[in-house]
């Protein structure tokens, strides 16, 4: 009587172990361990995410490559432009400087484009100072134009 009871108990224990080991799904294991699995992208998802990233990169490259006239200046980085202005320009174009206040609303407006700044600052056409490409590069001229543009309005 005793031995049959023991055998039965062992059989049940073994059965439960098998069930526990063999049947648990990944989901159940994750749940038991409190793991949130990282969602995996489907092939379609990856393709569209890649396409979107490529499109953005292309748009940016195009924007940088396009000449300044019109929207060009607006594509510069206003924050970088502000830093450039403090470094190179505010001595003359700030309070008490020898140059006009080009940050005043309505002074330059949309006339501040990378094209006009190239002429002015690189060629010195209409400006007392010029800047070499090693001092202010083309992108920074664009940034400067964007900054002044943002200050003096459209």
- Contact status: 144 vs ligand HEC (CB under 6 A): yes
- Contact status: 128 vs ligand HEC (CB under 6 A): yes
- The answer for 34, left when phi > 0, alpha when psi is -120 to 50, beta otherwise, is left
Residues 70, 67: Cα–Cα separation, whole Å: 9
- Contact status: 121 vs ligand HEC (CB under 6 A): yes
Residue 136 CB, nearest approach to ligand HEC (Å): 6
Select 67 or 100, whichever has its Cβ closest to ligand HEC: 100
- Cβ neighbours of residue 24 closer than 8 Å, sequence gap 6 or more: 32
- Contact status: 89 vs ligand HEC (CB under 6 A): yes
- Contact status: 127 vs ligand HEC (CB under 6 A): yes
The CB density around residue 154, as the number of other CB atoms within 10 Å, is: 10
Residue 82 CB, nearest approach to ligand HEC (Å): 11
Is residue 113 within 8 A of residue 73, CB to CB? The reply is yes
- What is the token pair recorded at 81? 């432009």
Report the interface residues with ligand HEC, using CB under 6 A.
Answer: 88-89, 91-93, 98-100, 102, 108, 120-121, 126-129, 144
């Amino acid at each position: 009587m005793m031995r049959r009871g023991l055998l039965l108990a062992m059989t049940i224990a073994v059965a439960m172990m098998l069930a526990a080991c063999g049947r648990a799904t990944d989901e159940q294991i994750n749940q038991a361990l409190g793991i949130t699995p990282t969602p995996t992208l489907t092939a379609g998802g990856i393709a569209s995410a890649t396409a979107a990233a490529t499109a953005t990169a292309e748009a940016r490259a195009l924007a940088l490559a396009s000449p300044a006239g019109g929207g060009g200046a607006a594509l510069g980085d206003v924050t970088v432009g502000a830093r450039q202005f403090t470094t190179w320009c505010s001595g003359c174009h700030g309070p008490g400087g020898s140059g006009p206040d080009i940050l005043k609303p309505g002074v330059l407006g949309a006339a501040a484009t990378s094209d006009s700044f190239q002429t002015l600052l690189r060629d010195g056409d209409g400006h007392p100072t010029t800047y070499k490409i090693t001092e202010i590069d083309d992108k920074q001229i664009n940034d400067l134009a964007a900054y002044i543009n943002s200050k003096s309005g459209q």
